Amino acid sequence: MTYVATHAPAKPIRTHGLIQYIVYANWPNPQRSFWCAQCYCVFESTEQGEEGMKVDSLPRNAIYREILRAYRTRLTPQDVGLEAGPGRGKLTQQNVDQILGGGAGVYQKVEAGRVRPSPEWLQRVGRKFRMTDYDLGVAVASLTGSEPVPRQRTPPHAWLAAVEGQSQPAFLIDHAGSVAIVNASARQIFGRSRAPENLWRWMLSEGGRSVLDNWADQWAPYVLAEIRRARARHPDDITLRDLDEEVARESSLKLLEPAQCGLDCRPRPLRHPARGCGEVQHLAAQIDGTAAHFVTWSFSPYSPTSI
């Protein structure tokens, strides 16, 4: 038997934003169940009373509708710039149509699952509802299968210590490859030159070619792929537009095709000015809630027998 969250007696044991776990009085007996509003699943015991649980999940595309409904019912008309109306003061589906300026009944059809919205429409509603980045990401992912492009915002200052504390070369770069932070180990790679303002531009420059061994095969095509992907995500970005124009003007770059993927963790040859020749792995992780990336170049010098 499947239990729903409205059955009594129920006791909320943890609440955080939209995450709410409700446990029934006689849990964890095999006949007890709970509803997890984080993953929108009803967990139920087996009919035979066997150990373990089985999960009956809502369809993936139901998740964004549940998130819309949860946020809407927590808002009032005044929260979105409308005058208070009759009733309980909650934001109605008709109110949402008003603030969006669309046709009457459109929002109700979306929330009921009769109309499938576009990702742009969903993000617009998310901003009106003041969704957290996390909840908006989950909503868009449930609609499209992928998360929205992160916002171009500055990462927390705590990342300064994280980058500088690395023994390997480390950088903090933004969505366009511009360098925000570089540690002492990474500065050794640039020799007497200053750390570059843009990592991707440096990697395509003469300075980068002198350090990045087998540049035309192992490095440049993958940097071009990074630029192409970033340009698709941020088509109006000035820095990326300038990089595109520089690539188009540079004769040696015009002959190269972007790789089928960006910079990954495969070992690539590098001539380290201070530590000699070796291999480096490009390890990148996106900082949650931003479009910035924490990049580490894990460098391993060649052994004397391999030179």
Q: How many CB atoms lie within 10 A of CB 261?
A: 12
Identify the bridge partners of residue 294 per DSSP, sorted by sequence position: 172, 285
pLDDT, tens digit (0-9, with 9 covering 90-100), for 228-274? 998 888 888 899 999 999 999 998 898 899 999 999 999 999 999 98
The pTM of the whole model exceeds 0.85: no
pLDDT, tens digit (0-9, with 9 covering 90-100), for 8-17? 333 333 333 3
> In the 3-class helix/strand/coil scheme, how is 200-246 assigned residue by residue?
HHHHHCHHHHCCECCHHHHHHHHHHHHHHHHHHHCCCCHHHHHHHHH
Going by C-alpha positions, the residue among 201, 188, 205 that lies closest to residue 275 is 188
Angle (nearest 5°) at CA 234 between 297 and 252: 60
pLDDT, tens digit (0-9, with 9 covering 90-100), for 189-218? 987 778 899 999 999 999 999 999 999 999
**Residues counted in the chain:** 307
Identify the bridge partners of residue 19 per DSSP, sorted by sequence position: 16
pLDDT, tens digit (0-9, with 9 covering 90-100), for 97-141? 888 887 788 888 888 888 888 888 888 888 889 888 778 888 888
196 token code pair: 């570059």
